[in-house]
């Protein structure tokens, strides 16, 4: 008696089996990159690298002149991204050092993809007419 392969379910009868497989062995950590990393397309290159590796999370410019971020994914791909952050970056960047938080194991992804967060010090709304004598407007 030989059963045909179509009788053997690959993922079981429950779609949650696929989700469990997809989130198995997810790790995460935060990072901060120091050096000449703002104004040199560092975040855009980090986004491309993270997406190529299938990592999720975010990065952003900080008010301290660094690039901060959070990555989550499989440990092997995270190791590749960490090395890229330490040694490669964007073509015009100059990396002095990178600090990583402890890598933690997670039971599921926290983000659907990797994205760039807006700068905290750019595009702030201008509140006019509030009577503040210290506010000013740049006219470029």
Active-site annotation holds for 43? yes
Q: Which of 7, 25, 43, 123 is catalytic?
A: 43
- 48/137 Cα distance (integer angstroms): 35
**Angle at alpha carbon of residue 90, lines to 108 and 78, rounded to 5°:** 25
Burial label, 34 (beta-carbon count in 10 A; 0-12, 13-18, 19+): middle
**Angle at alpha carbon of residue 56, lines to 103 and 93, rounded to 5°:** 85
Give me the count of residues in the chain.
140
Active-site annotation holds for 25? no
Q: Which of 25, 48, 56, 61 is catalytic?
A: 61
**Angle at alpha carbon of residue 71, lines to 65 and 74, rounded to 5°:** 155
Catalytic residue annotation: 43, 61
């Amino acid at each position: 008696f030989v059963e045909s392969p179509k009788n053997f379910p690959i993922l079981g009868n429950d779609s949650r089996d696929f989700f469990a497989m997809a989130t198995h062995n997810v790790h995460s950590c935060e990072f901060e990159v120091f050096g000449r990393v703002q104004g040199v397309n560092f975040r855009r290159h980090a986004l491309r690298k993270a997406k190529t590796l299938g990592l999720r999370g975010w990065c952003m410019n900080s008010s301290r002149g660094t690039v901060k971020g959070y990555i989550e994914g499989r440990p092997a791909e995270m190791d590749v991204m960490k090395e890229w952050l330490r040694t490669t970056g964007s073509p015009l960047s100059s990396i002095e050092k990178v600090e990583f938080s402890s890598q933690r194991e997670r039971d599921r992804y926290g983000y659907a993809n990797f994205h760039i967060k807006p700068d905290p010090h750019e595009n702030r709304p201008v509140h006019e007419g509030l009577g503040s004598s210290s506010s000013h407007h740049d006219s470029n």
